[in-house]
Chain A
Amino acid sequence: MADDSQDRSPARDRDDRATISRQAAEWFARSLDENAPQKDYHAFRQWLQADERHAQAYAEFDRLWAGAATVPTLSEKPSVSRRMALKGGGVLAVAGLCAWGFHRFQQPADYATGTGERRVADLPDGSQLELSAASSVQLRFNSRERRIVLLDGEIYCQVAADRQRPFVVEAGALTATALGTQYSVSRMGGNIGVAVAEHSVSVGASGHVVEVSAGEAVDLRDGTLSGIQKEDNTARLSWRNGPLVFISKPFGEVVATLNRWRPGRLMIADEALARQVVTIIINVRSPADIDRALVQGLPIRVANYTPWLTLISAQQ
């Protein structure tokens, strides 16, 4: 096959993209057919492996299709022809679409924890990584640097000295480079944070760099680095050793964090309750402990709708 990577013009790239997109659409449409013969699947795999862009294009259709899974809202003025097209004459609706946001499994992880699981990993350089619940990282160690990519969740790093290679944690748009030995980096939902326990860490995001010392913390929300917070980091790092401590946090954030420690799902029934600021300590040893702590500590009602879905509402 001739190597024509030398003569890429924009028009040629556009054509390639259109071709790949059409091929992906065809393969996806074929995958919907449960009667497709086995040999089709093998050809499919070969096509996928031929070029990384093939898999990317196919993934887009998979997401598009997944997003259209829910039966639609009723459209306001269904056209006559659409109504006639439907079996049984029901009114046509439109599909809802899921967010195209970050998918937890978009990249493979080198270390990962599940719900409620904590883990300690020894790194090749002698450093130690603690992972909080529902967390995942990739290791990118080479001769120039020791880089950890935090995909999701929270980690605590105890960094072994190595003058030749800086130790860097990358979490979304933020990097935290060790200037000493002990710190945590968290990436949960849209919130990314660094808390330093020992010595200091250089934190960079969107061109700004700030040095954070022991006992201090900094957060990146919506692309902006917060000011240095000199609050007690004990609350932030409480997950390492025992009950989780939340001090003046919006209840929605508390519940989002708890969902990493508790199988099934806690949901808050109304927005106002989610925005309410709370202070609470929660033992995460078991789901029953978590639910009990919530009910005892806050003016709420907790109702189990299925073994996997628990709804929290304000006490009336």
Chain B
Amino acid sequence: MERVHQDILLDIFLSIRSRLSATIYNRVRCRATTADITQDTFLRLWERRSLLPAATDLAGYFVRTGRNLAIDHGRRQRIAPFVHGVAHLEMIADRTPSPEDHAISRREVELLQRAIDDLPPRARQVFIMARLDGMSYVEIGAQLKISPKTVFSHMVTALERIKAGLGNI
């Protein structure tokens, strides 16, 4: 059963690779970075392949993940000058993710799932829309009919509660 999955994952990656690259390039506007992030997208899904149920829409999965990683990259670039030289934050300037970043355990997925499930409804919506759909506070506010400021405070709540829910990993 797993073997079938691997081949499907690879096939789909190959078939959407140019769409994935284009999505990423649109945001980062740099060929080398696009290549890095495209690879990172594949590796993350590859490492999680045994956690993917058969019904997953893999193509959409790849593209959304790639988009979110590209958004992340943009955010890090934006704040990099302001964290320059600050101890403990070197990884923000570091463009290439290391292999250790990809490993994941079932337990960690469960903990995170539960932490998100347990969020108050609005905080959960805001977190999901920002993190998974890559929406800005303004866009989320427009969608949920609340002010960006309120979106912000829901995000703070979500972050703190998820962190508390993960405990001391």
Where the two chains meet, the residues of A that have a C-beta atom closer than 8 Å to any C-beta of B are: 21-22, 25-26, 28-35, 41-42, 44-45, 48-49, 52, 55-56, 58-62, 64-75, 81-82, 85-87, 92-108, 259, 264-265, 267, 269-270, 305-309, 311
User: Are A308 and B39 touching (Cβ within 8 A)?
Assistant: yes
A-B contact count (CB 8 A): 201
Q: Which B residues are in CB contact (< 8 Å) with A58?
A: 88-89
CA distance A239 to B111 in the complex (A): 42
Q: Does B147 interact with chain A (Cβ within 8 Å)?
A: no
With A34-B75, A75-B113 as known contacts, state yes or no: A265 contacts B130, CB within 8 Å: no
27 contacting pairs across A/B (C-beta < 8 A): A32-B130, A32-B137, A33-B137, A35-B138, A42-B82, A45-B86, A55-B87, A66-B72, A69-B69, A69-B72, A71-B60, A71-B64, A73-B56, A73-B109, A74-B53, A81-B121, A94-B109, A95-B131, A97-B166, A99-B108, A100-B169, A105-B90, A105-B91, A106-B91, A267-B46, A305-B10, A309-B42
User: Are A311 and B10 touching (Cβ within 8 A)?
Assistant: yes
Q: Which B residues are in CB contact (< 8 Å) with A35?
A: 136-138
User: Are B89 and A99 touching (Cβ within 8 A)?
Assistant: no
The secondary-structure label for the interface of chain A is: mixed
User: Are B160 and A70 touching (Cβ within 8 A)?
Assistant: no
* B67 smallest CB distance to A (angstroms): 10
Q: How many residues of chain B are within 8 Å of chain A by beta carbon?
A: 79
CA distance A75 to B51 in the complex (A): 11
* A28 smallest CB distance to B (angstroms): 6
Q: Which B residues are in CB contact (< 8 Å) with A65?
A: 72, 131, 159
CA distance A4 to B122 in the complex (A): 39
* A258 smallest CB distance to B (angstroms): 13
CA distance A56 to B90 in the complex (A): 11
Q: Does B8 interact with chain A (Cβ within 8 Å)?
A: no
User: Are A97 and B111 touching (Cβ within 8 A)?
Assistant: yes
User: Are A52 and B39 touching (Cβ within 8 A)?
Assistant: no
CA distance A108 to B105 in the complex (A): 28
Q: Which A residues are in CB contact (< 8 Å) with B91?
A: 59, 62, 103, 105-106
